[in-house]
């Protein structure tokens, strides 16, 4: 089955409120295997809401609306659904009684306009609101369903999980759910990964998607299956194929970061690392601290290198670090302002110095993240003797 989301509220279009409901519902629907094909945002205008509902109902099995169920004049979702389905609004005294009792317990004076929330399109199934006054409802129309929920997230979420999800599973006989596995590749661009994976990207089970960011490229594998075991078998097979295409470069798991992988590697090698950072303004150190890397001993952040004297001080400081921490690798990172590159050097008391240059530099956050993760990934590859041929 497939669904469309209609987010109602002029404040969403004006950017006064960030729409978190759509991402939440999209994630929850994907977990039970419901395909969400569109999300539409529309303001508080009845004719436009009606038109959007009429358009969506021709394309999908289920429409889920969020917002517009309050007691005020600009809350017009009930009226819009009634008009779009040629259904009159019907007063439900039992709903009004619940609204009255809830407001009375809060010490809020009940107004005549609160009665508006007890009107639903004829034939609708009310959805109980356990934390607010606005009931939701489910309206069947031409063998399809329009589900309306409040726009307040802490009201919408329990209604969605306790009523909407069970209703959809029962009504549509949903047995398969969506299983997702996320792989990460650091230090390699999206276009190169696309090229290396080749025909694998056309797989239908699992489907494969690439999501690029300054930090890494995420490879999302998604499959619909009836059991965790069947899904894992399919995902394992595809992950193995991806590892063969990108040997040594793929990290598995959304929560498994490059920093954790490097920390584990240093643990296996019984090594530690110190850092002298004159390029990323502490970003590379921050990332290790944030990941709780146990093998990171200490670090120091310096101003950017501007001349030969600054460079001499940087290398003198590294000698001090190697004497003070003889058991640790030392990483120094600094810009070459003449070449417009970033210089990275890894050394240790028992190893030769490894030096490389990154063909970019900068102080914007995006630059600092990119430099940090590529530097750490280069270290990981060097320590594992991974020689990846990018051809």
12-63, pLDDT tens digit by residue?
A: 999 999 999 999 999 999 989 899 999 999 999 999 999 999 999 999 999 9
Q: Does the structure show a pLDDT above 80 at 69?
A: yes
Which whole number is the average pLDDT over 326-348? 92
- How deeply is 115 buried, as exposed, middle or buried, from its count of CB atoms within 10 A (0-12, 13-18, 19+)? middle
Q: Does the structure show a pLDDT above 90 at 114?
A: no
Q: Does the structure show a pLDDT above 80 at 255?
A: no
**Lowest mean per-residue pLDDT among 84-93, 275-284, 300-309:** 300-309
Q: Which two tokens stand for residue 98?
A: 């619940």
Classify residue 177 by its DSSP letter. E
| pLDDT reported for residue 389 | 60
Q: Which two tokens stand for residue 325?
A: 């921490």
Q: For residue 133, name the pLDDT band (cuts at 50, 70, 90).
A: confident
Q: Does the structure show a pLDDT above 70 at 8?
A: yes
Which whole number is the average pLDDT over 190-200? 95
- Cα-Cα-Cα-Cα torsion 349, 352, 353, 355, nearest 10 degrees, comes to -160
Residues 6+ apart with CB under 8 A from 228: 179
Residue with tokens 């004006």: 14
| pLDDT reported for residue 108 | 81
Cα–Cα separations (whole angstroms), residue 55 to 51, 63, 86, 121, 372: 6, 10, 15, 19, 48
SS3 74: coil
Q: For residue 308, name the pLDDT band (cuts at 50, 70, 90).
A: confident
Classify residue 160 by its DSSP letter. I
Residues 6+ apart with CB under 8 A from 388: 188, 246, 247, 248, 249, 381
Domains (ranges, CATH) in the chain?
2-172 (3.40.980.10), 177-252 (3.30.70.2860), 258-384 (3.90.950.20)
- Cα-Cα-Cα-Cα torsion 304, 308, 314, 319, nearest 10 degrees, comes to 170
Which stretches of 216-264 are assigned E, i.e. beta strand?
A: 217-225, 250-252
Which residue, among 312, 326, 315, has the nearest Cα to 276 in the 3D structure? 315
- How deeply is 193 buried, as exposed, middle or buried, from its count of CB atoms within 10 A (0-12, 13-18, 19+)? buried
pTM flag (> 0.85): no
Query: What is the C-alpha to C-alpha distance for residues 274 and 293, in angstroms, rounded to an integer?
Result: 12
| pLDDT reported for residue 55 | 97
Which whole number is the average pLDDT over 78-84? 97
Neighbouring C-beta atoms of residue 202, cutoff 10 Å = 9
| pLDDT reported for residue 105 | 81
Total number of residues shown for the chain = 391
Which whole number is the average pLDDT over 85-112? 88
């Amino acid at each position: 089955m497939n669904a469309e989301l209609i987010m109602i509220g002029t404040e969403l279009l004006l950017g006064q409120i960030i729409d978190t409901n759509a991402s939440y519902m999209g994630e929850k629907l994907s977990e039970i295997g419901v395909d969400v094909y569109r999300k539409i945002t529309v303001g508080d205008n009845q004719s436009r809401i009606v038109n959007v509902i009429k358009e969506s109902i021709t394309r999908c099995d289920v429409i889920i609306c969020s917002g517009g169920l309050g007691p005020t004049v600009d809350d017009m979702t009930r009226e819009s659904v009634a008009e779009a389905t040629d259904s009159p609004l019907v007063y439900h005294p039992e709903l009004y009684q619940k609204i009255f009792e809830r407001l009375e317990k809060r010490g809020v004076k009940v107004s005549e306009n609160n009665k508006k929330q007890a009107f639903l399109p004829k034939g609708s199934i009310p959805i109980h609101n356990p934390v607010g006054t606005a009931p939701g409802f489910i309206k069947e129309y031409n063998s399809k369903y329009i589900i309306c929920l409040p726009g307040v997230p802490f009201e919408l979420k329990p209604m969605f999980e306790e009523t909407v999800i069970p209703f959809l599973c029962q009504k549509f006989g949903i047995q398969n759910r969506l299983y997702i596995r996320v792989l990460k590749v650091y230090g390699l661009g999206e276009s190169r990964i696309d090229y290396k994976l080749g025909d694998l990207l056309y797989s239908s089970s699992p489907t494969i998607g690439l999501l690029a960011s300054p930090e890494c490229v995420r490879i999302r594998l998604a499959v619909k299956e009836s059991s965790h075991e069947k899904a894992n078998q399919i995902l394992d097979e595809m992950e193995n194929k991806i590892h063969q295409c990108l040997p040594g470069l793929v990290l598995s798991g959304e929560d498994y970061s490059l920093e954790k992988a490097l920390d584990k590697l240093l643990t296996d090698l019984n090594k530690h690392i110190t850092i002298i950072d004159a390029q990323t303004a502490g970003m590379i150190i921050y990332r290790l601290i944030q990941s709780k890397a146990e093998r990171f001993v200490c670090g120091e952040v310096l101003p950017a290198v501007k001349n030969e004297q600054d460079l001499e001080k940087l290398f003198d400081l590294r000698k001090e670090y190697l004497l003070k921490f003889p058991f640790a690798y030392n990483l120094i990172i600094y810009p070459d302002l003449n070449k417009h590159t970033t210089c990275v050097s890894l050394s240790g008391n028992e190893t030769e110095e490894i030096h490389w240059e990154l063909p970019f530099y900068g102080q914007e956050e995006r630059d600092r993240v990119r430099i940090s993760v590529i530097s750490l990934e280069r270290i990981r590859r060097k320590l594992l003797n991974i020689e990846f041929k990018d051809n």
